[in-house]
Amino acid sequence: MRELSEVRLGIIGLGYVGLPLAVEFAKHFPTIGFDINPKRIAELRGGHDSTLEVSDEELRAVPQLSYSDDLATLESCNTYVVTVPTPIDRHKRPDLTPLESASRAVGKVLSRGDVVIYESTVYPGATEEVCVPILEEVSGLQFNQDFFVGYSPERINPGDKVHRLTTIVKVTSGSTPETARFVDELYGRIIEAGTHPASSIRVAEAAKVIENTQRDVNIALINELALIFNRLGIDTLEVLEAAGSKWNFLPFRPGLVGGHCIGVDPYYLTHKAQEIGYHPEMILAGRRINDGMGAYIAEQVVKMMTKRRIPVVDAKILVLGLTFKENCPDLRNTRVIDIIREFQDYHARVEVYDPWVDPNEAYEEYGVLPVPKPEEGAYDAIILAVAHRQFIELGSGGIRALGKPGAVLYDVKSILPPEAVDARL
């Protein structure tokens, strides 16, 4: 196994995970950031990150980092880190296409003695069952003899300026004891919070996938409680605050569960469980509840509009926020789109306002073109879907001013005073 002083890194994929990783590694090692999107490469070469995970100043401060969309430039590297997305398809099955494509790309430049480290979230066994055979086939090299593999799952929290890459403990693993030590020492150079070496790649894969599965199931419980308390006429947040006065009550809140992790990762685990003959009842039940919350919110707003004799057909609906979480531009797997689609099915006219998103990206991804600015006094119903700081600063008065007299205001995130809204989740 080579020494750290010999490391020349290639980071495959420069999104929310890959770019912060490339920036930190480049402070210690020569690093090439590779992405198949030429627009992304041009943007980064120009010194700007549209994901806002890395500041322009941070990009300028790493002279050892270069960017390329030309695979041939990676031939000078000897250690590769793969950080591509692992989404699900429309049937909610793992879509390993980006991971397989990245493995083929790395296989074309792989040399004897090289190490390939995967960070993408997968089910236990995927790295060695799916990725390694591709690396062997394309490179013509033999696993654990000519090249080696590691796995260190990403723990990036988009938009979080407190819990950053370097301040979150990193799980590491390798395909041989020597590889495991190398991977752990490599990440030890950049992770201030320390590392947690796992005994195997499969353990590290499993640890990652259950982190978000646990959160998903817990949020599903709170969402189900919200459905129950709504029928009982009880304010869910008041109940949670009261229960939270006990020291060991977990502080989860109801809401939409989207994003690239929590709303996706559980399906990787359930896929593998079903493959080995086990039907995971609790995890899938939680997914059904969370996936249904957008439709539930729309249904509640429609009921309130109907009680006020506001026709839903051709009604003008304003949705505040489109990203999957507050104060970041990340649109991946946002469940706000479920609310929008429900109202479109009612033939309502839906407008979306989100100061954080790129309108072109929103249109390409979801066919939704956010408005530059909402019109005052124009809407029959307003759904506050994302807790962006701009909406908090606008306050209930400013948000109410966007609606017609008697307009319905539904607060999904419970950020406004209860007396200022018509309902909240």
As annotated, the active-site residues are 261
Q: Which uninterrupted H or E stretch holds 40?
A: helix 38-45
Are 171 and 147 in contact by the 8 Å Cβ rule? The answer is no
Q: What is the dihedral of CA 381, 383, 389, 394, to 10 degrees?
A: 20
d(C-alpha 197, C-alpha 297), whole Å = 43
Alpha helices (H) in 92-149, listed in sequence order? 97-109, 126, 132-139
Q: Which two tokens stand for residue 238?
A: 């008041």
In sign, the C-alpha dihedral spanning 45, 47, 51, 57 is positive
Q: Which residues pair with 11 in a beta bridge?
A: 33, 81
Number of CB atoms found within 10 A of residue 246's CB? 7
d(C-alpha 150, C-alpha 9), whole Å = 14
> Rounded to whole angstroms, what are the CA distances from 325 to 103, 160, 174, 262, 412?
30, 10, 33, 12, 12
Per DSSP, 340 falls in state: H
In sign, the C-alpha dihedral spanning 217, 218, 223, 225 is positive
Per DSSP, 52 falls in state: S
Q: How would you list the strands of the sheet with 148-151, edge to edge? A: 65-68, 31-34, 9-12, 79-82, 115-118, 148-151
